[in-house]
């Protein structure tokens, strides 16, 4: 796996975990927080891919 891909996926995973944790702390159901985290991670991949070069 190229270094660029590893950095993008790691940053996306961190973003997803942060969003999920903040969603849980706001009082929503954990399943909803997991979906929010996965959505944020998926959406951030395309942005991170262009920003990290």
The 10s digit of each residue's pLDDT in 22-48 is 999 999 999 999 999 999 999 999 999
Q: Would you say residue 1 has pLDDT above 90?
A: no
Supply the pLDDT for residue 39.
Answer: 97
Distance CA 11, CA 15 (A): 6
| pLDDT band at 53; cut points 50, 70, 90 | confident
Output the pTM of the full model. Answer: 0.90
Summarised one tens digit per residue, pLDDT across range 13-26 is 999 999 999 999 99
- The dihedral built from the CA positions of residue 5, 8, 11 and 13, taken in this order, carries a sign that is negative
Residues 24/30, Cβ–Cβ less than 8 Å: yes
């Amino acid at each position: 796996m190229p270094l660029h891909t590893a950095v993008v996926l790691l940053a996306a995973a961190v973003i997803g975990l942060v969003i999920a944790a903040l969603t849980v702390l706001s009082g929503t159901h954990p399943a909803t927080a997991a979906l929010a985290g996965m959505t944020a991670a998926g959406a951030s991949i395309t942005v991170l891919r262009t920003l990290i070069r």
